[in-house]
Structure 1
Amino acid sequence: MPIARPLDGERPGPTRRHGRRLRIVDVTLWYGERSGGIKSYLDAKRRHAATTGAFEHHVIVPGERDGHHDGMHRIRGVRVTRNDYRLPPGGRGLCRTIAELRPDVVLLHDPFWTPRQAVAAAHASGSLVVAVHHGSAALDAAGMPGPDLLWTPVFRAWIRHAYRAVDAVMSVVDPTPDSGRGADLPLRLGLDPAFRPRPEVVRGDEVLYLGRLSRSKGVGDLLDAAVGADWRLRLVGDGPWRTGLPAEIATRGLSERVTLEPYVEDRAAVAARYARAACVVMPGPNETFGLVGLEAAATGAPVVCCAGAPSAARIGPLAHRFPAGDVGALRAAVDAARARGAAGGDPALGRRIAWRHGWTTLFHEELVDLVALLERAERSVAA
């Protein structure tokens, strides 16, 4: 099927290559109706490209059926999870789309969609390929049945296989333990303008978890921490544990203090929930960034997170850390964060966080990095 593209001379931006705007393609399996950080990044990037005209942007994701419209390219796939994640049968549609687009740079946001085929198709089209390291072998293993120690080496070997032929790796953390190579470019994650302090919203005293409902995200530890505590807990989201959670809550005797709510897509509604909470908890032991923590902190909310969560460094004093898997320390961190939330949180720090992590600035910096990567590759070929 022919792919409709913007004309090369349409809306010229500041970054041009071969007489046209730079053409960037983002590829990911994990773009479902109720996805998290990757979808937020890609949606923001699409808006930025459309608004500024700084580069031509395309996104390739699985969909219910094949379709190519306005820079969004969907390859038919089979639905495999509740939040509309889909798996295409092989990589033929992906490789054909890359070949037709002839991008300057392809960013692969996961290592699972026939990565070696995708890299070969991109290189054959004259594209550079950047592997974007969002996850980790430990996080992937935590989502599988059986001991994590059995699965982690399997995922680590696959990541190294997937990254072997890429031209660069982009990451917010050091990917060396999983990929065998360090990050060449920083991954920058930003914030929707909705995430800011809201003085008109009265901060309450409940504890909020908002995100994927799964054991790998530490939801079970959070429920255990709530046993014997005196705070109310609100769980908002969807995921593989959604149907089993009511029984888990009842078994722990928490039915009167734990509320379970569906996934919320609207960014303004999410921000209002952060602003109403005494604190927001991100209990997962394997967060590769933790965008929820950054979003919540931008509203001035105290955030409880594992000591190793990368976003904790961006949150600063609003972060209340605990060692992964230590339920007692998690409960103590929640108590400390609630006390700070009862005093109103920190709106001034929230405003600074929101300003520093605006998407416009971050995408400009990412574009500068990609242009530099292309220039280095051209100099290498010329030499």
Structure 2
Amino acid sequence: MAPDGAGRGLGRHGRRLRVADVTLWYGERSGGIKSYLDAKRRHAAITGAYEHHIVVPGERDEERAGMHRIRGVRVTRNDYRIPPGGRGLCRTIERLRPDVLLLHDPFWTPRQAIAAAHRSGAIVIAVHHGSAALAAAGMPGPDAAWRPIFRSWMHHAYRDVDAIMSVIDPVPDSGRGADLPLRLGLDPAFRPQPDVRRGDHVLYAGRLSRAKGVGELLEATRRGDWTLQLVGDGPWRTALPAEIAALGLADRVTLGDYVSDPAELARRYAAASCVVMPGPNETFGLVGLEAAACGARVVTCDNAPSATTIGALGHTYSAGDVVGLQRAIDAARRAAPDAGAAAALAWRHGWTVLFHQELRDMVDLLERRERRRERAA
């Protein structure tokens, strides 16, 4: 049953509201965007609150049970793919005729996609997951050379959308403020783990790249006295063993595989003395929220939005301050777990609650558009 009946009958021709999410960044080893979309797909299927579609690149053109894949060329280890142009995306949008289209990145021919959605009668929401700083950090050469390029592109990509959804202020990157909050939640597996014994090691789980602050974490580990487990995949994975050895950390740092099972990841979080999310340009930081909900102590940069959400369960430091990172890890390892606060955090960030709120936001946008049309007529 849809919460309070929200969304029913609002779609065209008497059907349920039809919502489509579009992103390039949906691979087998993706992070927060995939978690959000998979949870949203399950929520729509269980509640029937709206008709949900996901449009992503794939190995071949394929449509099955609301998942629409458009053939693309594989470009990274995470199985990310880039389709040749936007024709397949636009055809899919025009065939689906969604009431609401959410674009989760500004890179997949956004102006073409927005035009196709508007021709089909949809409202378009740009979901601001990233930032120019984060994108620039992943490119070769000085970040300062890339940031203006990415900001210019985001201004271009977001110009004609009907609303921006974000957890941070998108004005520096897009020239427009956030119209809606981006709400990120938790898989039911991310709860306190009373049967898991807290260990002595430090854990990093996520994308293995310099942009995520892994280099600073290794340097802090060299200065500290703990063992470190790195779990994940990414562009730096093949070079990491040599980097670890060069820092004299071969006997204190282990490199583990990406963990896809939420229940297993929850146990990994709870078994660590603390979980570190050292990325200096996080636009939310879902790993920090997940780990805190499992009862782990968490270390983040003080500018990570999830640091505020985690509250007293987290320990912060200034981005780029390796000594500050070392001290924050030491403090987190000494701090006692707080299972009560972790359980309360997990409850507040359940996907069902958050998607109910998101649906109301989308309904409000549609109703405002209809009122504008009525006044214009």
Task: State the TM bucket, normalised to the shorter chain.
Answer: over 0.9
Matched residues in 2 for 1:382 and 1:348: separation?
Answer: 50
Alignment of 1:349-360 (within 5 A): 349-360=341-352
- 2:230 aligns to what? 235
- 1:348 aligns to what? 340
Matched residues in 2 for 1:266 and 1:228: separation?
Answer: 32
> CA shift at 1:377, angstroms?
0.6
> CA shift at 1:15, angstroms?
2.0
Unaligned runs of 5+ in 1: 1-11
- 2:9 aligns to what? 16
Alignment of 1:206-245 (within 5 A): 206-245=201-240
What does the per-residue CA deviation read over 1:237-282, in whole Å, with 9 as the maximum and x for residues that have no partner? 0000000000000000000010100101000000000010010000
How high is the sequence identity, in percent, across the aligned residues? 72
Matched residues in 1 for 2:83 and 2:17: separation?
Answer: 28
Q: 2:54 aligns with which of 44, 50, 59?
A: 59
The normalised TM-score by structure 2 is: 0.97
Query: Does residue 322 of structure 1 match 2:314?
Result: no
What does the per-residue CA deviation read over 1:194-243, in whole Å, with 9 as the maximum and x for residues that have no partner? 00001111011100000000000000000000113110000000000000
Alignment of 1:296-315 (within 5 A): 296-315=291-310
Query: Does residue 144 of structure 1 match 2:136?
Result: no
Unaligned runs of 5+ in 2: none
Q: 1:378 aligns with which of 334, 345, 370?
A: 370
Q: The residue matched to 1:272 in structure 2 has which SS?
A: helix
Alignment of 1:1-383 (within 5 A): 15-17=8-10, 18=12, 19-340=14-335, 343=336, 345-383=337-375
Amino acid aligned to 2:206: G
Q: The residue matched to 2:329 in structure 1 has which SS?
A: helix
What does the per-residue CA deviation read over 1:339-358, in whole Å, with 9 as the maximum and x for residues that have no partner? 11xx3x11111000000000
Say how many residue pairs are matched: 369
Asked whether the equivalents of residues 197 and 347 of structure 1 are also in contact (C-alpha less than 8 Å), the reply is: yes
What does the per-residue CA deviation read over 1:148-204, in whole Å, with 9 as the maximum and x for residues that have no partner? 000000000000000000000000111011010100000000000000001111011
Q: The residue matched to 2:199 in structure 1 has which SS?
A: coil
Matched residues in 1 for 2:204 and 2:6: separation?
Answer: 41
Matched residues in 2 for 1:26 and 1:82: separation?
Answer: 23
The normalised TM-score by structure 1 is: 0.95
Matched residues in 2 for 1:149 and 1:315: separation?
Answer: 31
> CA shift at 1:14, angstroms?
5.5
> CA shift at 1:13, angstroms?
7.7
Matched residues in 2 for 1:225 and 1:369: separation?
Answer: 42
> CA shift at 1:100, angstroms?
0.3
Asked whether the equivalents of residues 7 and 17 of structure 2 are also in contact (C-alpha less than 8 Å), the reply is: no
Cα distance 1:167–1:13, how it changes in 2: closer, same or farther (>3 A)? closer
Matched residues in 2 for 1:267 and 1:197: separation?
Answer: 13
Asked whether the equivalents of residues 217 and 278 of structure 2 are also in contact (C-alpha less than 8 Å), the reply is: yes
Matched residues in 2 for 1:243 and 1:16: separation?
Answer: 52
Matched residues in 2 for 1:14 and 1:87: separation?
Answer: 33
Cα distance 1:325–1:212, how it changes in 2: closer, same or farther (>3 A)? same
Amino acid aligned to 2:123: L
Q: The residue matched to 1:170 in structure 2 has which SS?
A: strand
Matched residues in 1 for 2:52 and 2:224: separation?
Answer: 49
Amino acid aligned to 1:191: L
Asked whether the equivalents of residues 6 and 359 of structure 2 are also in contact (C-alpha less than 8 Å), the reply is: no
Asked whether the equivalents of residues 60 and 72 of structure 1 are also in contact (C-alpha less than 8 Å), the reply is: yes
Asked whether the equivalents of residues 13 and 52 of structure 1 are also in contact (C-alpha less than 8 Å), the reply is: no
Matched residues in 2 for 1:228 and 1:68: separation?
Answer: 51
Asked whether the equivalents of residues 19 and 50 of structure 2 are also in contact (C-alpha less than 8 Å), the reply is: yes
Matched residues in 2 for 1:279 and 1:346: separation?
Answer: 13
Asked whether the equivalents of residues 7 and 359 of structure 2 are also in contact (C-alpha less than 8 Å), the reply is: no
Amino acid aligned to 2:8: T
- 1:7 aligns to what? none
Q: The residue matched to 1:227 in structure 2 has which SS?
A: helix
